[in-house]
Amino acid sequence: MRLTSKGRYAVTAMIDLALHAEMKPVPLAEISERQSISLSYLEQLFSRLRRKNLVASARGPGGGYKLGMLPGDISVGMIIDAVDENVKATKCDSSGGCNDGKRCLTHSLWDDLSKRISDFLDNISLADLMTNNEIKQIVNDQDHDRQMLNKIDVNII
């Protein structure tokens, strides 16, 4: 099983969006800055997330993205699936052709692990993550750091 940066970045960006989209759409540039994810990479990810209706875009001044569904209705598994990631632990991608077209000795073990991981991720929603105290503290720290940088920039000008 290998969850690449694509899946991790998509989940991170969606948590950031959920926590910052209280009343207005969130520009991807803000997510990019807070999470240190390339803006062009975020644009690619959000294009996929939009196709699955997990996010909706708003154009024009004050535009950006907002969630396409309620946070409780968006699971981590849905986000990972939307960006074409998978959490399969089998060598054969669960087809059973692991060993020259035949099942290997451990196929059932790895297939069961894949199913458990998938079930685990499908049962964690953005709403669950938004109430996580560690995540809330990290967001508060990021927002505080950003405010301090903005004050420094204003004082320099």
Task: Tell whether the model's pLDDT for residue 156 goes beyond 70.
Answer: no
Q: pLDDT by residue (tens digit) across 61-99?
A: 889 999 999 999 999 999 999 998 877 777 776 566 666
Per-residue pLDDT tens digits for 103-139: 788 888 988 998 999 999 999 999 999 999 899 889 8
Residue 84 token pair = 């074409």
For 94, residues 6+ apart whose C-beta sits below 8 A from its C-beta are 88, 111, 114
The structural domains of the chain, ordered by start, are: 5-87+125-132 (1.10.10.10)
pLDDT score of 140: 84
121's CB contacts (< 8 A; 6+ apart) are: 75, 76, 77, 80, 87
